[in-house]
Amino acid sequence: MPPEVIECFVMSNSTKYVFVTGGVASSLGKGIISASLAKLLQARGYSATIQKLDPYINVDPGTLNPYEHGECFVTDDGAETDLDLGHYERFLNVPTSQANNVTTGKIYQSVIEKERRGVFLGKTVQVIPHITNEIKERIQLLGKEGTYDIVITEIGGTVGDIESLPYIEAVRQMKWEFENDCIVVHLTLVPFLAAAGELKTKPTQHSVKQLLEMGVQPDILCCRTEHELDLTLRRKIAKFCNVNMNAVIESRDADSIYDVPILMQAEELDKVVLEKLSLPTKSTPDLDNWKEFLRRLKNPEAEVTIGLIGKYVELKDSYKSISESLIHGGVAANAKVNVRWIHSEKINSENAASELKGLDGILVAPGFGSRGISGKIETVRFARENNVPFLGICLGMQCAVIEFARNVIGWKEAHTTEIIEGCKTPVIDMMSEQKAISDKGGTMRLGAYKCLLTPGSKVSSAYGSDKISERHRHRYEFNNEYLEEFEKHGMKATGRNPETGLVEVVEIEDHPWFIGAQFHPEYKSTVANPHPLFVAFIKAALKKKKQK
């Protein structure tokens, strides 16, 4: 490596780095393990943040179909990110940012831009060192800010994937450069073979061997398992994978993701991590509030059924933040929330009443494009006419506006220009600043914007405040040319952007609880702070249920 390249990585090591890699199979829950570890460290008084490195070539997941990787999570600073960032925020109650999610696409984009600017001074630009240096720089960016004692970096994908190789190499180099300040937690699977009646450690051994071939010795192994890992198995794994016995951590399947920090604490994952990073372990994690949340989650006093209407319901991860927000809202309202997942394509004017029967609340989900939109509009009609508490989010709010225009005001051809470009009554229209944009990636109205709520409205009483800030992800908006007619007929704009007048919230006065939000409240609900709109929605559903 040329000396100038090496030099830029001599750095202050006040920040410690924990890498979380995955082996054997995907979907083992690296995100939840990372978030749980961060939670335990935070509960001991350390400041921790989590970063996700995704080995795919898309610059960000904003342009990805939710069927590929689930929901696209949006940060305050307007980054479209992997859904794991949602878990990080829900567990830590600390906002993430652009720097918390990096993809191979972003890495290459940045290296290629530097090459074009002449930064590399005529050198041949290569995966090693240029790509790996860029990866290391992105990891250390969070550390350099000096805000965090510990940066946890989750490497997406599974060890052995061709596309993760530069990331594992970057981890190897950082382990070498940082010695005691950098460790690797490897998450593996210990499958149970029913025919043999045994847990099998061989896949774990192989996966560690694969890491070793790339020069990385994991310090801690988190073993996903359906059954107890007894001492014999732990000893075997320790011996064949060169890790200490206490660094073989059992990660049993849990009833709820919110149990995982407690299970990890029982296994002393946090203690082992701190020991390996030469940090004090005396403090005990203060998890009182977390445990209180779990107690309420497991001992609900009532139950409600919420219909979640969307076009991606086959893959529940597409609505991860919404389903978690419903859980948080339920805990705050002391109610268990059963979600009935309803495919918007299946709803029409004939079957809406039978398909939506028995719901205590209806949530129409965000989305893009025409597929399933008529089912969403029919669903809104059912909720409005039958006084079922209704929460419409983004496209769900836009559908509520269209439905009201058609069936209350009587503008039968009302629509959004997203679906009918030359629509005669465009009650939802493309935002003017969007009209000149042709690129699809990262160009929507994204991230946090302020919103003023009408005093005395349902939405302001839900928030207990008239000034809020919420996150956005859209190109279309309520068409203010029609506002007067809407308000005359009883649909009020009760939330507006103070600078532009853009309608952020609509509600129907003459309905027990009917709120449409142009923003995404689900991105801001956390265990520590269940989102007020979801709490109020669940409370309204409870009330509806009692009346039945």
Binding residues vs ligand GLN (CB under 6 A):
366-368, 394-395, 418, 473-476
| Element at 336 (helix H, strand E) | strand 335-343
Which residue lies nearer to ligand GLN by CB, 188 or 518? 518
Which residue lies nearer to ligand GLN by CB, 133 or 398? 398
Which residue lies nearer to ligand GLN by CB, 21 or 318? 318
Could you say which of 72, 394, 399, 451 is catalytic?
Answer: 394
* Alpha carbon 521 to chain centroid, angstroms: 12
Question: Which residues make Cβ contacts (< 8 Å) with residue 547, sequence separation at least 6?
Answer: none
Q: C-alpha distances in angstroms, 486 versus 85, 248, 402, 491?
A: 38, 62, 11, 5
Instruction: Round to whole Å and give the CA distance between 74 and 82.
Output: 9
Which is nearest to 203 in space by CA: 189, 217, 216, 214? 189
* Residue 522 falls in the annotated catalytic set: yes
E strands, 344-488, in order = 361-364, 390-393, 414-416, 425-430, 445-453, 467-474, 476-478
How near is the Cβ of 383 to ligand GLN at its closest, in Å?
A: 17
DSSP string computed for 452-475: EEPTTSHHHHHHTSSEEEEEEEES
How near is the Cβ of 11 to ligand GLN at its closest, in Å?
A: 39
Q: What share of the chain is helix, strand, coil (3-state, %, to 5)?
A: 45, 20, 35
* Residue 182 falls in the annotated catalytic set: no
Question: Which residues make Cβ contacts (< 8 Å) with residue 532, sequence separation at least 6?
Answer: 462, 463, 464
* Residue 87 falls in the annotated catalytic set: no
How near is the Cβ of 314 to ligand GLN at its closest, in Å?
A: 18
Which residue lies nearer to ligand GLN by CB, 99 or 431? 431
Instruction: Round to whole Å and give the CA distance between 98 and 333.
Output: 33
As a whole number of Å, the end-to-end CA separation of the chain is 72
Which residue lies nearer to ligand GLN by CB, 273 or 395? 395
Q: Which residues of 504-529 are buried (b: 16+ CB within 10 A; e: fewer)?
A: bbbbbeebebbbbbbbbbbbbbbbee
Which residue lies nearer to ligand GLN by CB, 288 or 439? 439
Which residue lies nearer to ligand GLN by CB, 239 or 371? 371
How near is the Cβ of 518 to ligand GLN at its closest, in Å?
A: 8
User: Is residue 317 packed enough to be buried (19+ CB in 10 Å), middle (13-18) or exposed (0-12)?
Assistant: middle
Cβ contact 13:139 at 8 Å = no
- Residue 155's Cβ-side half-sphere holds a number of Cα atoms within 13 Å equal to 28
Which residue lies nearer to ligand GLN by CB, 331 or 502? 502
How near is the Cβ of 398 to ligand GLN at its closest, in Å?
A: 6
Question: Which residues make Cβ contacts (< 8 Å) with residue 541, sequence separation at least 6?
Answer: 304, 306, 335, 360, 361, 389
- Positions marked catalytic: 394, 520, 522
